Amino acid sequence: MPPELLRDVLMRIEKSESTWPPRKNVVACAGVCRNWREIMKEIVKTREVSGKLTFPISLKQPGPRDSLLQCYIKRNRSNQTYYLYLSLDQALNEDGKFLLAARKLRRPTCTDYVISLNPDDMSKGSSTYIGKLRSNFLGTKFTAFDAQPPSAGSRVMKSRSTRLVNFKQVSPKVPAGNYPAVHISYELNVLGSSRGPRRMQCVLDAIPASSIEPGGVAPTQTEFVSSTLDTFPSFSFFRSKSTRVENLESGRPMSAPKDGMLVLKNKSPRWHEQLQCWCLNFHGRVTVASVKNFQLVASPEQGVAGTEHENVILQFGKVGKDVFTMDYQYPISAFQSFAICLSSFDTRIACE
User: What would the pLDDT profile of 246-289 be if each residue is shown by its tens digit?
Assistant: 333 333 433 444 558 899 998 887 877 777 777 888 888 988 88
Q: Identify the residue with better confidence: 257 or 106.
A: 106
**Is residue 221 in a domain?**
no
185/291 same-domain check = yes
Q: Tell me which DSSP letter residue 62 carries.
A: B
Residue 297: pLDDT over 70: yes
36/65 same-domain check = no
182/35 same-domain check = no
Q: Identify the residue with better confidence: 100 or 256.
A: 100
**Is residue 235 in a domain?**
no
Residue 169: pLDDT over 60: no
**Is residue 230 in a domain?**
no
C-alpha–C-alpha distance, residues 2 and 111, integer Å: 54
**Is residue 98 in a domain?**
yes
Whole domain around residue 8: which residue ranges? Answer: 1-44
Query: Per-residue pLDDT tens for 5-37?
Result: 999 999 999 888 888 888 889 999 999 999 999
C-alpha–C-alpha distance, residues 167 and 151, integer Å: 32
Q: Residue 109 sits in a domain of what CATH number?
A: 3.20.90.10
* Confidence (pLDDT) at 272: 76
* Confidence (pLDDT) at 66: 85
C-alpha–C-alpha distance, residues 209 and 263, integer Å: 7
195/314 same-domain check = yes
3/125 same-domain check = no
**Structure confidence at residue 241 as a pLDDT band (50, 70, 90):** very low
Range in 228-237, 289-298, 301-310 with the lowest mean pLDDT? 228-237
In DSSP notation, 100-151 reads EEEEEEE-SS-EEEEEES-TT---TTSTTEEEEEEE-SSSSEEEEEESS-SS
CB atoms under 10 Å from CB of 221, counted, come to 21
Alpha-carbon dihedral angle through residues 307, 310, 312, 317, given to the nearest 10 degrees? -170
267/340 same-domain check = yes
56/25 same-domain check = no
Q: What is the tally of structural domains in the chain?
A: 2
* Confidence (pLDDT) at 351: 54
* Confidence (pLDDT) at 243: 32
**Is residue 166 in a domain?**
no
Percent of the chain with pLDDT over 90: 37
CB neighbours of 281 closer than 8 A, spacing ≥ 6?
none
pTM for the full predicted model: 0.81
**Is residue 217 in a domain?**
no
Q: Which of 327, 150, 163 is nearest to 241 (CA)?
A: 163
Query: Per-residue pLDDT tens for 61-80?
Result: 999 988 899 999 999 999 99
336/198 same-domain check = yes
**Is residue 338 in a domain?**
yes
C-alpha–C-alpha distance, residues 222 and 85, integer Å: 22
112/34 same-domain check = no
* Confidence (pLDDT) at 289: 83
**Is residue 10 in a domain?**
yes
**Among residues 14, 29, 44, which one ends one of the domains?**
44
288/199 same-domain check = yes
C-alpha–C-alpha distance, residues 120 and 146, integer Å: 20
202/270 same-domain check = yes
**Structure confidence at residue 165 as a pLDDT band (50, 70, 90):** very low
C-alpha–C-alpha distance, residues 256 and 274, integer Å: 39
318/336 same-domain check = yes
Angle at 292 between CA 291 and CA 295, to 5 degrees: 105
How far from 216 is each of 186, 219, 305, CA to CA, in Å?
28, 10, 14
